[in-house]
Structure 1
Amino acid sequence: MTMTDTTANTAPLPAVPERHPRTGNPGPRSGSKVPARWRIAGWILLTTALTLLAVMLTMRSLLLNGTQTQAHQDITQELQEFRAFAAEGVDPTTAKPFTSIEKMLEIFLSRQSAAQGEVIVGTVGQRILYTPTGALSSQANGHDLPRDQALMDSIRTGDASSGIAHTSEGEMHWVRLPVVSGNETGHLIVGIYMAPREAQVAGTVLTIFFVSLGGLAVTAGIAWLVAGQILSPVREVRRVAEDISESDLTARVPVRGSDDISALAVTFNTMLDRIESAYRTQRAFVDDASHELRTPITVIRGHLELMEDNEADRARTLALVDDELARMGRIVSDLLLLAKVDRPGFAQPRRTDAATLLLDIEAKAQVLGPRGWPILEIAEGSISVDTQRMTQAVLQLATNACQYSPEESTVSLGSRFEGEGGARQFTIWVSDQGRGVEEEEAARIFGRFHRGQAAQDTERARPGAGLGLAIVRSIAEAHQGSAWVRSTQGSGATFGITVPSPIYDDDGDAGPGGNVTERLDEVKEHQQ
């Protein structure tokens, strides 16, 4: 019997990254452990160092080329001086023409003072002519050209009239000038040792090097400070992110200036605003739901626990439970609607006809209760609103007006345009003949779970959670408008919504609603 190793075909499970204990985000990934400030300063320092190195190498090359050029110019100058001296052909000591090349070279060499690293030698046959101040100045460099027989022979007898000789003290650039007088031939040899001049170049480069080191130190300090200044907003973002907790989302990053880092801070703050808004909406929904649903749940539980074992009590209890469950359903629906207010697309304005909108709302309001529903004012023209949301809000106002006004009373409707041009506004209102709203109560009546004094009247108490007017306000604000109330205690109240309404080029029919002209005529006849 054979056994199969099942582990051979089993793929290893991927490793689950560790997450932050508080935020739940994945733990740090592999990457550079060097702080960003050090990296920025390091790259600036490295770039500066490479630039200075390139400058030093370029400077050294230019200085060396300059020393060679200067050496050649010095050699050329010595040769030109000898040519001018030979052209005169007069011995300054006797004021007579030279009688020999040897004498000419002796007089010329005796009058020369060679610079450092320069050697001037004259040769006639095998004889080498020099003076202590001229030819022997090369001894200061550690090399004595007149006594270097091999090098002298190569220079005198070689085919080249110039060249570079390698001596014990480095390179020597030399030039040989032949001097001919009759059958007699001599040479003037001028040489320049490059080692002293190269040593001067090395000293200059070394000075530049130490100055560059000082510059690098200053650059490092400045880079450290600048990197700190640049990353300061990033550190603020990190600090704010660390300070944010599940219960506190109010921290924000200070915004200074208008550069890219400031734009990052603005974007981060905007993101926090959205998160905080969503969090507050969620928390408000949870708090409101828990607050409002607690009472019906308690009522249902209490009646179920006290329900007697008879058909009449069961029917009464089940009816109460059904009513409470319906109320819970309305509360949940209203809370879900309020939770969606801040989401994009809650209100989707479309161009529609203002008269059609009001007439449709009036037709739907007829079934809310036995009231008179006259239209006292009607706006004619095009507006941009979400007809469903606006209808929902006005019907909520009509429902409240019907609930808190006497039966057979009148609930009036109306709409109008206010203002001109870009400041024009559209207002739609509902007016009842109820007990009205007190001035202090009007300031908070559109808040969540606020039930007015009229709701305290046991004779006309309307079951609800006090979310209707909050929904009306939210719909108005979703249209960039506002909800309002005007009332005199004991003389009824007028609730309305005012939203911006730009003027369109043409005011034609928009949206369903039947023959608007005929319906407007009917309204006008009814008003007369």
Structure 2
Amino acid sequence: MSRLSVRQRLTATIALLTTLALVVVGLTLYAVESRRIDRTIESSLVQETGEFRALQQNEVDPQTRQPFASADRLLQVFLERNLPEAHEQLFAFPSAGKPTYQGDPDPELQRSKEFPALVSDLATSGGTRTLRLAGRQYRIAVLPVRAGDEKGSFVVVHDVSASRSDLRGLMTTYALLAALSVVLIAGLASWSAGRLLRPVRRLRETAQGISDGDLSARLEVTGHDDLSDLQRTFNDMLDRLESAFVTQRQLLDDAGHELRTPLTVLSGHLEVLDLDDPDDVAATRELLMDEVDRMARLVDDLLMLAKARRPDFVRPQPADVEALTHGALDRARALADRRWVLDGAVRAMLPLDGQRITQALLQLSANAAKHTVPGDEIGIGSRLHAGRVELWVRDTGTGVDPAIVPEIFDRFARGDDSDDGFGLGLSIVSAIAEAHHGDVVLDPPASGHDGEPATGAVFRLRLPTGDPT
């Protein structure tokens, strides 16, 4: 059995629910109308017998202007004056002879033996009973009649089956209209479901294209409903995926290139190593250990950047920004012989990961130490500005080449060829800032004295003051 699509399941569900609702409405309508018909029939029987009693008690014979002398005459006058309602017959059973009636003839009723027997059974006490003949139902009321020395019976017969035949016709019409309504509703539901699910179908087709390797595919978003929001979210996810894949490919390419050099060095020195020369062995060992340390640092930095994508990379807690600033400065003094100064420290308690922020400031401090010489000044500070907290590291060194400023925070970007690092330090700082929902920027160079070009650099962490989580 083939699996039904979502559109087919929605259409079938709506059609089923509509059918159940119409069936319940139809059954309720039939029950209500059946009770109404039964009440109408009973009221008609009571009304006819009541009118006969009124004639018997209050009227006189129109011929003699005297009370009715016989039951047969009373029955005759009543039948002459009254017309039965629809599906109803009025019978006069005289004291002798055949009964007469008023209303449409009913051969089944007139030929039956059960009907006269029922009237005879109620001729003395009167009452109401139900009679079934040839699959038809009748409701019969018998009223004993006495006038003078004669006895008779006044009988009202209502054809219940005939009254309910109108209801059956109504229910047949209702059933046909209900079936037509279900078909129309199912068609409209299928059409509406197709339109509503069109974005989902495009999403599936786009996802299929992505599975085939096309990360550039995007959904065309139209509308402002929930499905449109889903499309926008899907497009945002594709943007992040494409960026992640591009970054991952770039990282693998760059890491492969960076690892290839020390591996080549290791392989080359091992090939020419003279095992019989102790000095050569010692020198080669020292060189190889240095290269292994470099690779270990590279792997550690790459792992750090990989962890930056995890939600638990930072654990914000209330942190004293002033204490963080002083602590970073105290730790940075051991990096190099420079003039370390405190530019300022803001007094504030903010939700930050103190260890990561300290790590970022020390990384910036180490970067500043590499590009300065003894006697140069390196300053560390913090402040609240424009609704954000800013922490910075500045130096009076050689500054940053304007040519590399656009990609200075990219992975494996180096400030100059003499830098013996891997170019991952500023990338780590940027990852820490982004994990706090902030950023890191390089301030534009300030103009020097007497028109001389400015020196030094200022790297600034800009973080929100709210809870980054």
Q: Same fold (TM over 0.5)?
A: yes
Q: Could you tell me how far 1:491 is from its partner in structure 2?
A: 4.3
The 2-side partners of 1:55 and 1:351 are apart by 64
* CA shift in 2, pair 1:117/1:321, >3 Å: same
Say if 1:85 and 1:108, in contact at 8 Å, map to a contact too.
yes
The alignment status of 1:323 with 2:281, answered yes or no, reads no
The 1-side partners of 2:355 and 2:117 are apart by 115
The 1-side partners of 2:166 and 2:270 are apart by 109
Q: Could you tell me how far 1:303 is from its partner in structure 2?
A: 4.1
Letter in 2 for 1:34: L
Say if 1:355 and 1:379, in contact at 8 Å, map to a contact too.
yes
Aligned-residue CA RMSD in angstroms? 3.7
The alignment status of 1:143 with 2:108, answered yes or no, reads yes
The alignment status of 1:340 with 2:340, answered yes or no, reads no
Name the structure 2 match of 1:467: 424
* CA shift in 2, pair 1:400/1:341, >3 Å: same
Say if 1:362 and 1:373, in contact at 8 Å, map to a contact too.
no
Name the structure 2 match of 1:245: 211
* CA shift in 2, pair 1:103/1:247, >3 Å: closer
CA-to-aligned-CA distance 1:398-445 (integer Å, 9 cap, x gap): 33333333x44313223142437xx252333231232x3233432322
SS of corresponding position for 1:390:
helix
Name the structure 2 match of 1:444: 407
The 2-side partners of 1:258 and 1:102 are apart by 83
Name the structure 2 match of 1:426: 390
Return the match for 1:498 from 456, 461, 468.
461
CA-to-aligned-CA distance 1:482-503 (integer Å, 9 cap, x gap): 2324436864212322334759
* CA shift in 2, pair 1:109/1:280, >3 Å: same
Name the structure 1 match of 2:433: 476
Name the structure 1 match of 2:144: 178
**Unmatched segments (≥5 aa) in structure 2:** none
* CA shift in 2, pair 1:295/1:138, >3 Å: same
How is 1:157-172 mapped onto 2 (pairs within 5 angstroms)?
157-158=121-122, 159-161=124-126, 162-168=128-134, 170-172=136-138
SS of corresponding position for 2:309:
coil
The 2-side partners of 1:116 and 1:390 are apart by 96
SS of corresponding position for 2:407:
coil
Name the structure 2 match of 1:9: none
Name the structure 2 match of 1:11: none
The 1-side partners of 2:237 and 2:348 are apart by 37
Say if 1:485 and 1:493, in contact at 8 Å, map to a contact too.
no
Identical positions, percent: 32
Q: Could you tell me how far 1:269 is from its partner in structure 2?
A: 6.8
The 2-side partners of 1:70 and 1:380 are apart by 92
* CA shift in 2, pair 1:164/1:377, >3 Å: closer
The 2-side partners of 1:425 and 1:307 are apart by 55
* CA shift in 2, pair 1:393/1:205, >3 Å: closer
SS of corresponding position for 2:297:
helix
Report how many residues are paired.
455
Letter in 2 for 1:293: L
SS of corresponding position for 2:419:
coil
* CA shift in 2, pair 1:124/1:236, >3 Å: same
Name the structure 2 match of 1:193: 159
* CA shift in 2, pair 1:373/1:202, >3 Å: same
The alignment status of 1:212 with 2:178, answered yes or no, reads yes
SS of corresponding position for 2:211:
coil
The 1-side partners of 2:154 and 2:284 are apart by 137
Letter in 1 for 2:392: I
Q: Could you tell me how far 1:203 is from its partner in structure 2?
A: 1.0
SS of corresponding position for 1:425:
strand
Q: TM-score, normalised by structure 1?
A: 0.73
SS of corresponding position for 2:400:
coil
Name the structure 2 match of 1:6: none
**Unmatched segments (≥5 aa) in structure 1:** 1-30, 504-528
Name the structure 2 match of 1:25: none
The 1-side partners of 2:51 and 2:131 are apart by 23
The 2-side partners of 1:498 and 1:103 are apart by 119
Q: TM-score, normalised by structure 2?
A: 0.81
Name the structure 1 match of 2:30: 60
Q: Could you tell me how far 1:210 is from its partner in structure 2?
A: 1.0
Tell me which moved more, 305-314 or 153-162. 305-314
Q: Could you tell me how far 1:74 is from its partner in structure 2?
A: 2.8
Name the structure 2 match of 1:76: 46
